[in-house]
């Protein structure tokens, strides 16, 4: 895997702490690769990540530009020339699927990272503070959870699009992160609660360590497995959410290719040209299948139960 190879190079550099960390990651990757699901999932995800990184340089055709005069090339069926056929503007579907990979992966991973980070903050704080604080924070999380997810997504999207003049994929990442926070913080809280009464946490408190030190240096390393599983699981959810937003026309705006949006566009011509919808549908589904299989593999290698 890419991380492991990169790690090897760094490891040769000689920093012992780093070497230990890299060793841990390598053994973890090795463990995951021992499971069937982990292996299959890992390979699928690796292919997708590769295409997301290098796809834009290998696309056979321009994914955005099209010739409005050229009616001939519209809706041509899959062939050797156009692997997945062409869409209603005569653009090559294969090129568009490749070009769309990057934004989907980047947004889903970015959104999940943000969501996990916020979840860590809220969940660990709530667990560590305990008592009344815990109750109020969790009550707030309940309210946040009862808030309709779709509405939340749309409102944050709408608000931040108008008020923050930033790149739209950043806005979607922000939205996903905030929307994901409550569920993540619940899971992380329950994991942190199990760690909190342990001796080393009490020791750190008696040493007079700061609050942030305790939650990030004492509690966090001991709930890493939960966080990793939660993270990969949520990447799957985030991918579904991103493509759903695209499908509803609320994600990345055209003409930038986006899988959900491509499916939505091609939906009306399903009978005559199903490939224009099926190709991006295959792309998103295979990626989520890969992520979910990988999640399963990680779980199995860590001996964690499925229900999180």
Which residues are at the interface with another protein (CB under 8 A)? 37, 139, 142-143, 145-151, 154-155, 158-159, 162-163, 183, 236, 240, 243-244, 247-248, 260, 263-264, 267, 270-271, 274, 277, 281, 284-285, 288-289, 291-293, 296, 305-307
Contacts of 234 (CB under 8 A, 6+ apart): 112, 115, 116, 180, 183, 184
Task: Give 228 or 238: the residue with its C-beta nearer to another protein.
Answer: 238
d(Cα 64, Cα 66) in Å, to the nearest integer?
7
The tokens of 124 are what? 């660990």
Q: Pick the closer one to another protein by CB: 13 or 148.
A: 148
Confirm if 108 and 235 have CB atoms less than 8 A apart.
yes
CB of 81 to another protein, least distance (A): 24
Q: Three-class SS of residue 306?
A: coil
Q: How far is the CB of 75 from another protein (least distance, A)?
A: 15
14 membership: H or E segment, kind and range: none
Name the minimum Å distance from CB 95 to another protein.
21
* Least CB distance to another protein at residue 213 (A): 32
- 91 HSE (CA, 13 A, CB side): 22
Q: What are the contacts of 198-204 at 24+ separation with CB within 8 A?
A: 198/222
Q: Which is nearer to another protein, 92 or 296 (CB)?
A: 296
The secondary structure of 37-48 as a DSSP string is HHHHHHHHHHHH
From the CB of 254, what's the least distance to another protein, in Å? Answer: 16
**Start-to-end CA span in the chain (Å):** 26
Shorter beta-carbon distance to another protein: residue 7 or 290:
290
Specify the residue, 73 or 286, whose C-beta has the smaller distance to another protein: 286
Nearer to another protein, 35 or 218 (CB): 35
Q: Estimate to the nearest angstrom the gap between the alpha carbon of 132 and the chain centroid.
A: 33
From the CB of 190, what's the least distance to another protein, in Å?
11
């Amino acid at each position: 895997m890419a991380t492991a190879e990169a790690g090897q190079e760094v490891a040769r550099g000689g920093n012992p702490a780093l070497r230990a960390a890299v060793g841990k990651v390598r053994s973890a990757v090795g463990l995951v690769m021992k499971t069937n699901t982990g292996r299959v999932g890992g390979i699928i995800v690796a292919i997708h990540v590769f295409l997301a990184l290098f796809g834009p340089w290998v696309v056979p055709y321009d994914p955005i530009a099209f010739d409005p005069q050229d009616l001939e090339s519209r809706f041509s069926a899959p062939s050797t020339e156009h692997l997945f056929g062409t869409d209603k503007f005569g653009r090559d579907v294969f090129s568009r699927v490749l070009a769309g990979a990057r934004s989907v992966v980047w947004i889903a991973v970015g959104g999940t990272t943000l969501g996990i980070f916020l979840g860590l903050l809220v969940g660990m704080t709530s667990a560590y503070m305990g008592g009344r604080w815990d109750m109020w924070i969790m009550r707030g999380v309940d309210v946040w959870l009862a808030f309709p997810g779709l509405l939340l997504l749309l409102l944050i999207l709408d608000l931040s699009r108008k008020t923050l003049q930033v790149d739209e994929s950043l806005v979607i990442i922000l939205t996903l992160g905030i929307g994901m926070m409550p569920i993540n913080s619940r899971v992380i809280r329950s994991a942190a609660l199990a760690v909190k009464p342990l001796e080393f946490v009490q020791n750190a408190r008696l040493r007079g360590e700061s609050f942030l030190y305790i939650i990030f240096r004492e509690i966090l390393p001991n709930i890493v497995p939960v966080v990793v599983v939660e993270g990969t699981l949520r990447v799957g959810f985030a991918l579904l959410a991103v493509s759903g937003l695209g499908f509803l026309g609320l994600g990345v705006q055209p003409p930038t290719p986006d899988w959900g949006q491509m499916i939505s566009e091609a939906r009306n011509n399903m009978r005559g040209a199903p490939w224009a919808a099926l190709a991006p549908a295959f792309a998103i589904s295979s990626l989520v299948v890969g992520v979910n299989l990988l999640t399963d593999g990680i779980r199995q290698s860590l001996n964690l139960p499925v229900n999180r």
